């Protein structure tokens, strides 16, 4: 493809995306295809000769699009928001166009230096402590996902535990039943034996970690000669946006010199609103590492997860290996950052471009307005449900997620749960909205997660109306 062809087809592709976004509300939110449908429409063998771009766009419309669930749809309320935005997409395009490998400072200096500036900017925008900034002993980096951020934090924590004389094998990791599955996965990858995973109890109503139980577990493990390596606290769990009491957890970690990782993948970006910074209480004083995903609720398409550490030494010492073929003057002199030492893979994309474009386009005020709009819509939705005797709303919904369930007055709990799931399936099959479920206290609850930039009050109202109508039908 010559630059001239690229210019023309690129414009056509951008037009395709703009047209898609203009008509997205008319498409069924949840893809209606059955397993194998998409694959069956695609040739089993690759083309021998190159094909026209038009042929590809045609297949995109006819074969691919029906198999897409529209995460940017204004009536997408499932899982968590996975925001995209114009500036982010354009940043992604620029990154692809440059095609640079940013593994070392030397392999593309701007790739490293822009990232440093952008993660420092984001730390400031979120009101995170100064010691997370790169000009101190700590710093931030962009990882592909929060799962990687947690794994990298755990490897640094294990390194620090071993450096301070702890046992390499008998290291323990602490989490709650509400922690994201990626924490357990990170432990598995890092070689922490499943018998050394400690599940700290949660308050049954709020689902927050119980610091007293953490203290008991830590004390018992230390007494048994084990080496506690990391505690993972969550600010805004994926299931219900529960917020662990980081300050009290941090005080306990400090006493035992245990690494505190704070997973704020979903909710952390809400701190762009000064009035929501309370969610990060205790992070400044106690967190050794902290992660949040602009690729969830901050207008930046996947992938873009930011991890900060208070001290980068254990991280770099855990992950740095210098083979001869990568040796260069700048790295040897120690005058630059090589972000390959802050992540699992060697190669890295120029991810900071999209976050840079997003922050410059929206500014602090625009980012805050976006979060506020989602929080506001969620709280309106919660108030309608709370006022409706057919439903019960869970009391904790400080951010963009509302958990609720129909009461099913005539059904036993298990039948009620089945009915709730049945209602959810019918709602989602309609294509008019998409929501998901979780379990709280053993009972099925529906999750209504607001946060797409295209979602307006009328979409939330329509969803609410439709949920009520479908429930009426089910009750009849
Ligand atoms: C979504 C989520 C993750 C995983 O995020 P990825 O970036 O997809 O790996 C981890 N922790 C929490 C609390 C999450 O909400």
Q: Give 221-266 pLDDT, tens digit per residue.
A: 999 999 999 999 999 999 999 999 999 999 999 999 999 999 999 9
Q: What percent of the chain has pLDDT over 70?
A: 100
1 C-alpha to ligand 1 centroid (Å)? 37
**Residues 201-227: tens digit of each pLDDT:** 999 989 999 999 999 999 999 999 999
Ligand 1: which atom is nearest the Cα of residue 302?
Answer: 7
Where does the pLDDT of residue 74 fall: very low under 50, low under 70, confident under 90, or very high at 90 and above? Answer: very high
472/406 Cα distance (integer angstroms): 11
Where does the pLDDT of residue 345 fall: very low under 50, low under 70, confident under 90, or very high at 90 and above? Answer: very high
Ligand 1: which atom is nearest the Cα of residue 236?
Answer: 13
Where does the pLDDT of residue 324 fall: very low under 50, low under 70, confident under 90, or very high at 90 and above? Answer: confident
Ligand 1: which atom is nearest the Cα of residue 179?
Answer: 13
Ligand 1: which atom is nearest the Cα of residue 264?
Answer: 13
Ligand 1: which atom is nearest the Cα of residue 305?
Answer: 7
Section 171-191 average pLDDT: 96
Domains 1-30+69-85+363-476 and 101-349 share a fold: no
- The owner of tokens 């990568």 is 326
81 C-alpha to ligand 1 centroid (Å)? 11
Task: Determine the pLDDT at residue 331.
Answer: 84
Residue 168 has pLDDT above 80, yes or no: no
CA-closest residue to ligand 1 atom 8: 145
Question: What top-level class would CATH report for the domain 1-30+69-85+363-476?
Answer: alpha beta
| Mean pLDDT for the chain overall | 95
Where does the pLDDT of residue 11 fall: very low under 50, low under 70, confident under 90, or very high at 90 and above? Answer: very high
CA-closest residue to ligand 1 atom 12: 265
Task: Determine the pLDDT at residue 167.
Answer: 74
Residue 398 has pLDDT above 90, yes or no: no
CA-closest residue to ligand 1 atom 2: 265
- Torsion region of 305: left, alpha or beta (phi above 0 gives left; psi -120 to 50 gives alpha): beta
Task: Give the residue, out of 232, 293, 438, with the most ligand 1 atoms within 8 A of its beta carbon, to mutate for a pocket test.
Answer: 293
Where does the pLDDT of residue 169 fall: very low under 50, low under 70, confident under 90, or very high at 90 and above? Answer: confident
Task: Determine the pLDDT at residue 62.
Answer: 97
11 C-alpha to ligand 1 centroid (Å)? 34
Structural domain 101-349, CATH architecture: 3-Layer(aba) Sandwich (3.40)
Task: Say what the pTM is.
Answer: 0.96
Task: Determine the pLDDT at residue 182.
Answer: 96
Task: Give the residue, out of 180, 184, 268, 296, with the most ligand 1 atoms within 8 A of its beta carbon, to mutate for a pocket test.
Answer: 180
411 C-alpha to ligand 1 centroid (Å)? 35
Picking from 254, 232, 236, 125, the residue whose alpha carbon sits closest to that of residue 186 is: 232
- The owner of tokens 């050394």 is 196
Section 430-441 average pLDDT: 95
Where does the pLDDT of residue 422 fall: very low under 50, low under 70, confident under 90, or very high at 90 and above? Answer: very high
146 C-alpha to ligand 1 centroid (Å)? 5
326/166 Cα distance (integer angstroms): 32
Ligand 1: which atom is nearest the Cα of residue 237?
Answer: 13
Pocket of ligand 1 (CB under 6 A): 80, 145-147, 180, 182, 234, 237-238, 263, 265-266, 293, 305
**Backbone phi and psi for residue 287, each to the nearest 5 degrees, phi listed first:** -75, 130
Task: Give the residue, out of 79, 146, 235, 344, with the most ligand 1 atoms within 8 A of its beta carbon, to mutate for a pocket test.
Answer: 146
Where does the pLDDT of residue 384 fall: very low under 50, low under 70, confident under 90, or very high at 90 and above? Answer: very high
43 C-alpha to ligand 1 centroid (Å)? 35
Let me know: does 436 contact 240? Beta carbons within 8 Å: no
Section 325-345 average pLDDT: 89
Domain boundaries, the chain: 1-30+69-85+363-476, 101-349
Task: Give the residue, out of 142, 148, 182, with the most ligand 1 atoms within 8 A of its beta carbon, to mutate for a pocket test.
Answer: 182
**Residues 346-383: tens digit of each pLDDT:** 999 999 999 999 999 999 999 999 999 999 999 999 99
Q: Which residues contact 88 (CB under 8 A, 6 or more apart)?
A: 299, 300, 301, 354, 355, 357, 358
**Residues 106-149: tens digit of each pLDDT:** 999 999 999 999 999 999 999 999 999 999 899 999 999 999 99
465 C-alpha to ligand 1 centroid (Å)? 30
Picking from 334, 292, 285, the residue whose alpha carbon sits closest to that of residue 313 is: 334
């Amino acid at each position: 493809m010559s630059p001239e062809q690229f210019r023309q087809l690129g414009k056509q592709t951008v037009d395709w995306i703009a047209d898609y976004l203009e008509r997205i509300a008319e498409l069924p939110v949840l893809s209606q295809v059955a397993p194998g449908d998409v694959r069956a429409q695609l040739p089993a063998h690759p083309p021998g000769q190159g094909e026209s771009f038009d042929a590809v766009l045609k297949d995109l419309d006819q074969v691919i699009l029906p198999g897409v669930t529209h995460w940017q749809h204004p009536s997408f309320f499932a899982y968590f928001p996975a925001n995209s935005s114009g500036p982010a997409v354009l940043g992604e395009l620029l990154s692809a166009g440059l095609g640079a490998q940013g593994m070392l400072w030397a392999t593309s200096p701007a790739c490293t230096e822009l990232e440093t500036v952008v993660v420092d900017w984001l730390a400031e925008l979120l009101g995170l402590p100064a010691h997370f900034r790169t000009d101190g002993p700590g710093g931030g980096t962009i990882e592909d996902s929060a799962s990687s951020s947690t794994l990298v934090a755990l490897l640094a924590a294990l390194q620090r535990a071993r450096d301070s004389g702890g046992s390499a094998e008998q290291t323990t990791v602490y989490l709650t039943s509400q922690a994201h599955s990626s924490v357990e996965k990170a432990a598995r990858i890092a070689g922490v034996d499943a018998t050394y995973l400690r599940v700290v109890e949660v308050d049954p109503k709020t689902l927050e970690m119980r610091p007293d139980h953490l203290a008991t577990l830590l004390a018992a493990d230390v007494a048994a000669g084990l080496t506690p390596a990391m505690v993972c606290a969550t600010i805004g769990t994926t299931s219900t946006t529960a917020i662990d009491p980081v300050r009290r957890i941090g005080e306990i970690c400090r006493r035992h010199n245990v690494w505190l990782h704070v997973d704020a993948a979903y909710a952390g970006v809400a701190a762009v609103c000064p009035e929501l910074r309370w969610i990060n209480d205790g992070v400044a004083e106690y967190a050794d590492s902290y992660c949040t995903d602009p690729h969830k609720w901050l207008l930046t398409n996947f992938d873009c997860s930011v991890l900060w550490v208070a001290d980068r030494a254990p991280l770099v010492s855990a992950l740095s290996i210098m083979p001869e073929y990568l040796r260069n003057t700048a790295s040897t002199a120690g005058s630059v950052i090589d972000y390959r030492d802050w992540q699992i893979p060697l190669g890295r994309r120029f991810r900071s471009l999209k976050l840079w474009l997003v922050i410059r386009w929206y500014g602090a005020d625009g980012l805050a307005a976006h979060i506020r709009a989602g929080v506001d819509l969620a709280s309106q939705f919660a108030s309608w449900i709370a006022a409706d005797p057919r439903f019960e709303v869970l009391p904790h919904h400080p951010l963009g997620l509302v958990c609720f369930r129909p009461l099913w007055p005539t059904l036993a709990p298990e039948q009620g749960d089945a009915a709730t799931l049945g209602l959810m399936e019918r709602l989602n099959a309609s294509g008019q909205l998409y929501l998901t479920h979780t379990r709280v206290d053993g009972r099925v609850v529906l999750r209504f997660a607001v946060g797409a930039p295209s979602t307006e009050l009328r979409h939330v109202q329509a969803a609410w109306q439709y949920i009520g109508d479908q429930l009426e039908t089910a009750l009849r």
